Amino acid sequence: MRPFLYDRAASTESAPRAFDGLKEASLIQGRAPAEYLAGGTTLLDLMKLDVMQPARVVDITPLEPQHGSIAISDAGLRLGALVKMSTAADHPAVIKTYPVLAQSLTLAASAQLRNMATLGGNLLQRTRCNYFRDTSWSACNKRNPGSGCAALDGLNRQHAILGASQDCIATYPGDFAQALMALDATLDIAGPSGSRTIPIATLHKPPGSTPHIETTLAPGELITALSIPAGPWTRRSLYLKIRDRQSYEFALASAAIALHLDGDTVKDVRIALGGVASVPWRARDAEASLIGKPLNEATATAAARMAFVGSAPRTHNAYKVTLGQKTVVRALLQAATLEG
Partner 1 sequence: MVDAAAPAPKANMGDPVPRYDARAKVTGSALYASDVALPDVAYAFLLSSAIAKGRIKSFDLREARALPGVLDILTHENIGEAIRKVKFFTEGGPASNSILPLGSAEIAYGGQTIAVVLANTYEVARDAAHRVKVDYEVDRPTATFESPGAVDQELATQNKKHDDPKVGDFAAAYATAPVKIDVAYSTPAQHHNPIELFATQCGWNGSQLTVHEPSQNVYGLKNGLATQLGIEPSQVRVVSPFIGGAFGSKGALTQRTALVAIAARKLGRPVKLVPTREQGFTVATYRAETKHRIKLGATRDGKLQALSHDGFEVTSRPDPYAVAGTDASTRMYACPNITSNVTIVRADRSTPGFMRAPAETPYFFALESAMDELAVALAMDPVELRRLNDTMKEPIKSLPYTSRTLMPCFDQASEAFGWSKRNPQPGSMRDGDWLIGWGCATSAYPTQMAPATARVSLFPDGTARVEAASHEIGNGIYTVAGQTAAERLGVPVGKVQVLMGDTDLPPAPVSGGSISTASVCSAVAQACDAIRAKLGDNGTGAVPTVDLVATLKERGLGSVQEYAEWMPHGAAKGGMQMLYKGAAQPIGGAKLPDRIQFAFGAQFVEVRVHARTREIRVPRIVGAFASGRIMNTRTAHSQYMGGMIWGIGSALHEKTEIDANAARYVNTNLADYLVPVNADVVDVQVIMVPEEDTLVNPLGIKGIGEIGIVGTSAAIANAIYHATGQRLRDLPLRIDSLVEAA
Residue 6 lies near partner 1 (rule: CB under 8 A): no
Q: Which stretch binds partner 1 (CB under 8 A): 24-32, 129-137, 192-200, 306-314?
A: 129-137
272, amino acid identity: A
DSSP letter string, 171-235? PP--SHHHHHHHTT-EEEEE-TT--EEEEGGGTB---TT-TT--BSPPTT-EEEEEEEE--TTSS
| Closest CB 323 distance from partner 1, rounded Å | 5
| Closest CB 211 distance from partner 1, rounded Å | 19
Out of 171, 217, 327, 335, name the contact with partner 1 by CB under 8 A.
Answer: 327
| Closest CB 205 distance from partner 1, rounded Å | 25
Q: Which stretch binds partner 1 (CB under 8 A): 31-39, 66-74, 287-295, 317-325?
A: 317-325
Q: Which stretch binds partner 1 (CB under 8 A): 68-76, 219-227, 271-279, 316-324?
A: 316-324
Pick 16 or 275: Cβ nearer partner 1: 275
| Closest CB 218 distance from partner 1, rounded Å | 29
Nearest to 67, CA basis, from 82, 46, 86: 82
Pair 50, 143: CB distance under 8 Å: no
Pick 137 or 281: Cβ nearer partner 1: 137
CB-based contacts of 291-298 (< 8 A; 24+ apart in sequence)? 291/266, 291/267, 292/265, 292/266, 293/265, 293/266, 294/264, 294/265, 294/266, 295/259, 295/261, 295/264, 295/266, 295/269, 295/332, 295/333, 295/336, 296/333, 297/329, 297/333
Q: How many residues bind partner 1 (CB under 8 A)?
A: 39
Pick 59 or 134: Cβ nearer partner 1: 134
Q: Name residues contacting partner 1, limited to 236-255 (CB under 8 A).
A: 242-250, 252-253
Q: Name residues contacting partner 1, limited to 253-292 (CB under 8 A).
A: 253
**How many other CB atoms sit within 10 Å of the CB of residue 296?**
12
- Spatial strand order in the sheet of 34-37: 5-8, 56-59, 34-37
Q: Which stretch binds partner 1 (CB under 8 A): 10-18, 69-77, 130-138, 187-195?
A: 130-138
Q: Which stretch binds partner 1 (CB under 8 A): 90-98, 115-123, 256-264, 327-335?
A: 327-335
Site string for partner 1, 131-160 (x = CB under 8 A): x-xxxxxx-----------x--xxx-xx--
Dist. CA 111–CA 129, nearest whole Å: 23
Dist. CA 250–CA 253, nearest whole Å: 9
Out of 22, 59, 326, 338, name the contact with partner 1 by CB under 8 A.
Answer: 326
The residues, ordered by sequence, that sit 6+ positions from 286 with a Cβ below 8 Å of its Cβ are 271, 303, 304, 306, 307, 328
Q: Which residues in this chain contact partner 1 in the complex, by CB under 8 A?
A: 1-3, 48, 50, 128, 130-131, 133-138, 150, 153-155, 157-158, 242-250, 252-253, 318-319, 322-323, 326-327, 329-330
